[in-house]
Structure formats: C-alpha cells, structure tokens
Amino acid sequence: MELVTGGAGFIGSHLVDALVSNGKTVRVLDNFSSGRLEFLSHHEDSEAVEVVKADLLDSEAVRRAMSGVEVVHHMAANPDIRLGTTVTDTDLKQGTVATYNVLEAMRLEDVGMISFSSSSAVYGEADVMPTPETYGPIKPISLYGASKLASEALITAWCGTFGAKSWIHRFANIVGPRGTHGVIYDFIHKLKVDPSRLEVLGNGMQEKSYMSAHDCVQAMVHLVDNTDSDVNLYNLGTGDTCSVRRIAEIVVEQSNLEGVSIDYTGGDRGWAGDVPKTSLDVDSLFSTGFRPEMMSEEAIRNTASALISEIGL
C-alpha cells in the first residue's frame, strides 16, 4: 500500500494515476483545501484507490492513515506560493509542521520510505544557472521555498536519526491538466473576465523551468525505483526554460481569441518572493536514464489547451 498525501491535488492526482497504472494500491490522504474529488473520479469504481479526508495537522488521523503503508508520497502543501507575502503562517503549518507530522507518524508506525515533492523554490536567486543540486548555500526567498527546505531538512534528519529512506524531488514549475494555480491558470482566468486584454504582473522577462505533471510523476516513480541511497535528492525538470512573455503568447494563441492586448505592469518580478529566473540543472536526473516526453514550451501549450477546456472561456 502506498500513501499519497495531497493525492486529490493537482500533481498528487497525477501521481495516483501513475501508481495505479503500475499496479499499486493507493491510499489518498487529502483535506480537500485545494484538492478535488473529481480529480480522482476515474478511480471511483476501482479497488486500487482509497480516499481518506483528513488534515495533516491532525496527527492522530495521519497516524491512522499509515496502517499497512510501505511508501509515503508526501505531496500535500499549500500550492499558492504568493500567499506567503500576506499570510505568513500557512507554509509553516501546511508545509513544515505537516511534514513533521507525516514523519513522526511514519516513525511510530514503522513506515520506512518517503518520497517528497520539494521545489526549485529552495534555491532562491541562485548565482549559478542552470542550478545543480550541489549548489550552496541555498537561500530561499519565499516562505513557500523556506517550508520546502525545512521539510527536506526534517526528512534527512529522520533518515539520519531513525533510519528512514527518502527521495527528495526538487520540482521545476509543474504544469498540466487539473492545475489549480500558477501563471497559466491565472492568465486563463483573466481572459475569461476580459477577453480583450491580458494583464501580466512584472515585465514578462521572468524565465523559469517548466515540466509537465505527467513527466514529473513519471520521474518521481523512476527515481524511487532506480535510486537507492539513504537520501536520494534530485532536480526534476526538462533542462530548458520559458519566459512569462512566451507563456502569455501561447495562452492567447490557444484561446483562439482575436485582438487580445498583452499588457505588462513592469518590474523584474511578479511579486515579493517571486524568483525572476530559475533554470534547473537536470544532469543528475538524466544520468539515471530518465527523459521527459515534453520540453517546457510543449508542456505549457499542452497545459494551456487542457486548462482552457477545464475552465472554459
């Protein structure tokens, strides 16, 4: 039995799909704050997926959910990085403390393996790009990035002190169907309100690594199956980047709307804590034999098309 925290969320639900298609039995633990039952509706009649509604801050519920579990895929987190600029305790609670509760429940119930969705946000504004896993010292600039690094540290400490085994995946920006946040999602919602104009926060020059949710969960599964250290820490991405300007153009193209004006508010970042440029070095991931099916632009185009269908214009 594999436990997926946040398994009804955007990336979590894609991971459930991947695990089920590999023949695994999956228990989903989700508080449905951003997860949706409909993301798992195609498993409704399957014996392979069990859904438990509970919050990771309820440590008793987390402990109960560990029963019979071999591997925990800890995907649950606040998905809205920008929220940290106005509400400062969300990432601490739903990120750091939630991860502590997961690890403590694992220790008490003798569950020995954890695969964790970390983020390139841990690197903050790195001096070296593409940024390899060996880059240091890392200085996250968002509260979200801080909670991811704090969670990584808790995981390595649990491995070092109590003998657990872990996979830490530092995700690029992950995009795809069922997205519930992020730049593509925001652009489509803006076009829905005003189909004549797309306002872009910042100057559009921000440039980041993107990866499709499908490739992301395939990479996670690949690493868990093919790497075997106590702590297996990898960047997950495609190796290329895409600018916000290009994303705006792709979303407008996919919308089939005519005469949309794209307006930039200016400034080198969208909001405080936003990293203007990220580029992940994925040589380590590729050295394990993994290759993504889509590069950044294709993942974005694909996502724009899927989300336009989901959201409706």
C-alpha distance from residue 250 to each of 210, 215, 244 (Å): 14, 20, 10
Q: Give the footprint of a second copy on residues 50-89 (CB under 8 A).
A: 84-85, 88-89
Compute the least distance from the CB of residue 306 to a second copy, in Å.
31
Q: Please identify which residue in 122, 224, 247, 304 interacts with a second copy, judged by CB under 8 A.
A: 122
User: At 59, phi and psi to the nearest 5?
Assistant: -65, -30
Compute the least distance from the CB of residue 136 to a second copy, in Å.
3
Q: Give the footprint of a second copy on residues 180-219 (CB under 8 A).
A: none
Going by C-alpha positions, the residue among 293, 146, 290 that lies closest to residue 232 is: 290
Tokens at residue 230, please?
């106590």
Q: Are strands 242-243 and 207-208 parallel, antiparallel or unpaired?
A: antiparallel
Q: Give the footprint of a second copy on residues 90-109 (CB under 8 A).
A: 92, 96-97, 100, 104, 107
Q: Give the footprint of a second copy on residues 223-252 (CB under 8 A).
A: 231, 233
- Distance in angstroms (rounded) separating the CA atoms of residues 168 and 223: 10
Q: Between 156 and 305, whose beta carbon lies closer to a second copy?
A: 156
Beta carbons of 25 and 51 less than 8 angstroms apart: no
> Angle at the Cα of 100 (from 107 to 86), degrees rounded to 5?
170
Compute the least distance from the CB of residue 274 to a second copy, in Å.
9
Compute the least distance from the CB of residue 162 to a second copy, in Å.
7
261: number of Cβ within 10 Å: 9
Tokens at residue 239, please?
């190796």
Binding-site size for a second copy (CB under 8 A) equals 42
- Distance in angstroms (rounded) separating the CA atoms of residues 119 and 78: 12
Contact letters (x/-) for a second copy, 131-160, by CB under 8 A?
--xxxxxxxxxxx-xxx-xx-xxx-xx-xx
Q: Between 69 and 121, whose beta carbon lies closer to a second copy?
A: 121
- Cross-strand partners of 113: 71, 165
Q: Does 129 sit near a second copy (CB under 8 A)? A: no
- Distance in angstroms (rounded) separating the CA atoms of residues 307 and 128: 33
Binding segment for a second copy among 39-47, 119-127, 178-186, 207-215 (CB under 8 A)?
119-127
Compute the least distance from the CB of residue 141 to a second copy, in Å.
2
Q: Between 14 and 148, whose beta carbon lies closer to a second copy?
A: 148
Compute the least distance from the CB of residue 300 to a second copy, in Å.
26
Compute the least distance from the CB of residue 165 to a second copy, in Å.
13
Tokens at residue 218, please?
């395939």
Q: Please identify which residue in 21, 41, 42, 162 interacts with a second copy, judged by CB under 8 A.
A: 162
DSSP 212: E
Whether omega before 137 lies within 30 degrees of 0, making that bond cis, reads yes
Q: Between 117 and 254, whose beta carbon lies closer to a second copy?
A: 117
> Angle at the Cα of 132 (from 216 to 201), degrees rounded to 5?
65
List residues near a second copy by CB under 8 A: 84-85, 88-89, 92, 96-97, 100, 104, 107, 122, 124-125, 133-143, 145-147, 149-150, 152-154, 156-157, 159-162, 231, 233, 272-273
